[in-house]
Every structure is written in structure tokens, then in C-alpha cells.
């Protein structure tokens, strides 16, 4: 299977993760106007599963390093398969809430708050499991990211002074999403071999882990998204007939969004062998910066904010970048 052999290349893969995880949500905005996120999400999930299977039978089955996908799934312990599937189910709940937060508050709020919290919790969880990197530098970066989240919340409060319900609901949804999102990666990391070139018996390679993760995502979505369609957080209830009324463009955007996200996840777990799970996950969650830039400067989500709000957001971005820089250097100091 394809593996990485040095830290510099692992960091490059983490930056690909950052771009993918920060950009996939744009496909929801590019779908037809009025296409609800609950409907978009069905195609998104199929997109994740499709790319995970394709990668397993291509990159996960070539070369002499590690184990091929079919050999790996046959020897895997059920406990590790279950752990990866649970990671997919937990991520699904978190990501549905993130989509809801995007619909209510926009990308430039949902990502910095939700994913920022996920970043902090994920780094702590993964560092406890596999302590790689200078802890002082690593957690100094975490503190800066926490400060950036606070600044983003302040900016969002200024934007929605006239609608306190919207402000509270959007922030609360993003916070709950972040708390759940910060835990899913640990389940996936726990299922995987620590040495990708010579994986331990019973453990999963990254390619097998992401297929199991995607299965958990799909199975849980059959319950969670169906329930959300009947009892939506915002708007009127939906039926499956509404899904089949969608245009080809809307369905393609959902599939593309899922595939973009899955590519980011794949790059992240491949990089974890050389970078360590804490740093690999942490750098990937720099997607917050990418998404915030999309939301602030491309989609103009703060165009109606009071004077001075953009300055707060610019400081938020600067501080977030500083925190990410510390995460990068934590592994090599």
C-alpha cells in the first residue's frame, strides 16, 4: 500500500487535509438555492463511502509495504473494526450539527467555533493516546486557538445583535458539534496500526480504517438524518420525495463534497504515521482558517456587521495561524 516515509511529506499531506476540510462545505452553497442541508447530506455520505472504497482498492492495495485492503480486512480484530465504525457514527452526529450550524450561522462562524473546539479536544485526546511532540509548544498553540475561537464568537455576537435567538442557536449548535467532533478521530486512530509499513496483527491500515469509518457514517446516517428530516433544527419537515426532486447539480455537489472531505481524512490518517495523530489531526483542523476565509471574504457573511467587526476577524485569523504554526513546530522542537 502507499505510505509516507518522512515528516516533511506528512506535513504536506496535512495541508492537503486542511484545504479539503476547509473547502468541502462550499459545495453545499453551490447546490441549487433552497436545497436543504439535510437533503445535501445524503449525497455527501455516499461521496465519502465511494472515495474510501476506491482508495482502498487502489492506493491501499498497491506496493509491497503494509497489507493490501482485502488481506487487512480478513485479519482485522473485530474490536478495531468496531472502533473505526464507531468513529464514523460519532463523526456523523457531529458533522450533521456542523451542517446545521453552517445553515444557521454561516461557514465563518460554524468552522472557527465548532472545529476550533474539536481541534482542542482532538489534540488533547490524541496526545494522551500517543504523546508525540513538545507538550509546551503544542499546548501553547492550543491556547492561541482557544483565543481565536473567543474572538470569532464576539464577532458573531456583533453581527446578530438584532436577533439574539439566531446568535444563541447558531453558537450552541456549533459548540455541541465541536465537542463531539473532537472525539471521533481518537476512535479511528485507536483502530489503526502505529507502523503503517509493518502493521501489527489485528490492527487496521489507514485504508481499511477509512472504509470501516465510512460504513459507520452511512449506517448512522440512516437513523440520524432521517430523524432530522422529520424534526429539523430549522425550517419545515422534509420527506424522501423532496430528495428525489433535487436537480442533478445538487446531487453532484453533495457527492463532490463528500469526496473532498474523504480525501482530506485519507491524507490525515496516512500522515499520522510520521507526524503523530495529535499533530496530524491538529494541522488538518487548520481547515478552520480556510473555511473562515471562504465565509468572510468570498461569501461575505459579515458584510452587514457593525464597523470594527472585520478587524476582530482579522485578528482571529492571525492568532489561529500562530497557533497552527506552534502545532507544526511541536513535532520538531
Rg of the chain on CA atoms, in Å: 19
Is the CB of residue 212 less than 8 Å from the CB of residue 84? yes
In angstroms, the first-to-last Cα distance of the chain is: 30
Q: Is residue 1 part of a domain?
A: no
Tell me what pLDDT residue 207 has.
96
Q: Is residue 157 part of a domain?
A: yes
Q: Which of 51-60, 114-123, 226-235, 237-246 has the lowest mean pLDDT?
A: 114-123
Q: Is the pLDDT of residue 216 over 70?
A: yes
**Residue 166: which pLDDT band, with cuts at 50, 70 and 90?**
low
H and E: helices and strands count for the chain:
15, 0
d(CA 25, CA 172): 19
Q: Is residue 162 part of a domain?
A: yes
Q: Is residue 183 part of a domain?
A: yes
Residues 6+ apart with CB under 8 A from 56: 69, 207, 208, 210, 211
Tell me what pLDDT residue 43 has.
98
Residue that wins the pLDDT comparison between 169 and 135: 135
Q: Is residue 168 part of a domain?
A: yes
Number of domains in the chain: 1
d(CA 176, CA 180): 6
Q: Is residue 311 part of a domain?
A: yes
Tell me what pLDDT residue 243 has.
97
**Residue 284: which pLDDT band, with cuts at 50, 70 and 90?**
confident
**Residue 101: which pLDDT band, with cuts at 50, 70 and 90?**
confident
Q: What percentage of the chain reaches a pLDDT higher than 70?
A: 97
Tell me what pLDDT residue 327 has.
80
**Residue 70: which pLDDT band, with cuts at 50, 70 and 90?**
very high
Domain that holds residue 115: 7-330
Mean pLDDT of 259-282: 87
Q: Is the pLDDT of residue 116 over 90?
A: no
The per-residue b/e assignment along 236-257, b for 16 or more CB within 10 angstroms, e otherwise, is eebeeeebeebeeebbbbbbbb
Q: Is residue 206 part of a domain?
A: yes
Mean pLDDT of 222-233: 94
Q: Is residue 110 part of a domain?
A: yes
Q: What percentage of the chain reaches a pLDDT higher than 90?
A: 49
Amino acid at each position: 500500500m502507499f505510505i509516507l516515509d518522512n515528516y516533511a511529506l506528512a506535513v504536506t499531506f496535512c495541508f492537503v487535509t486542511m484545504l479539503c476540510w476547509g473547502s468541502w462545505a462550499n459545495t453545499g452553497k453551490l447546490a441549487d438555492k433552497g436545497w436543504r442541508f439535510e437533503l445535501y447530506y445524503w449525497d455527501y455520505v455516499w461521496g465519502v463511502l465511494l472515495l474510501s472504497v476506491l482508495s482502498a482498492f487502489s492506493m491501499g492495495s498497491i506496493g509491497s509495504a503494509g497489507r493490501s485492503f482485502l488481506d487487512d480486512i480478513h485479519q482485522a480484530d473485530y474490536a478495531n473494526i468496531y472502533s473505526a465504525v464507531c468513529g464514523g457514527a460519532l463523526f456523523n452526529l457531529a458533522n450533521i450539527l456542523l451542517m446545521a450550524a453552517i445553515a444557521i450561522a454561516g461557514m465563518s462562524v460554524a468552522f472557527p467555533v465548532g472545529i476550533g473546539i474539536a481541534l482542542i479536544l482532538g489534540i488533547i485526546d490524541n496526545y494522551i493516546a500517543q504523546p508525540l511532540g513538545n507538550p509546551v509548544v503544542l499546548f501553547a498553540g492550543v491556547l492561541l486557538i482557544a483565543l481565536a475561537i473567543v474572538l470569532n464568537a464576539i464577532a458573531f455576537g456583533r453581527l446578530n445583535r438584532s436577533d439574539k435567538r439566531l446568535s444563541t442557536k447558531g453558537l450552541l449548535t456549533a459548540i455541541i458539534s465541536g465537542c463531539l467532533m473532537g472525539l471521533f478521530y481518537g476512535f479511528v486512530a485507536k483502530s489503526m496500526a502505529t507502523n503503517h509499513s509493518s502493521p501489527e496483527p489485528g490492527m487496521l491500515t489507514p485504508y481499511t480504517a477509512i472504509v470501516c469509518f465510512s460504513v459507520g457514517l452511512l449506517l448512522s446516517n440512516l437513523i440520524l438524518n432521517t430523524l432530522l428530516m422529520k424534526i429539523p433544527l430549522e425550517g419545515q419537515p422534509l420527506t424522501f420525495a423532496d430528495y428525489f426532486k433535487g436537480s442533478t447539480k445538487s446531487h453532484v455537489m453533495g457527492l463532490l463534497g463528500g469526496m473532498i472531505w474523504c480525501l482530506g481524512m485519507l491524507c490525515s490518517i496516512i500522515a499520522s504515521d510520521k507526524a503523530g495523530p495529535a499533530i496530524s489531526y491538529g494541522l488538518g483542523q487548520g481547515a478552520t482558517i480556510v473555511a473562515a476565509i471562504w465565509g468572510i471574504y468570498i461569501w461575505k457573511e459579515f458584510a452587514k456587521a457593525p464597523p470594527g467587526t472585520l478587524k476582530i476577524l482579522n485578528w482571529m485569523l492571525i492568532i489561529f495561524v500562530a497557533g497552527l504554526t506552534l502545532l507544526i513546530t511541536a513535532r520538531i522542537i
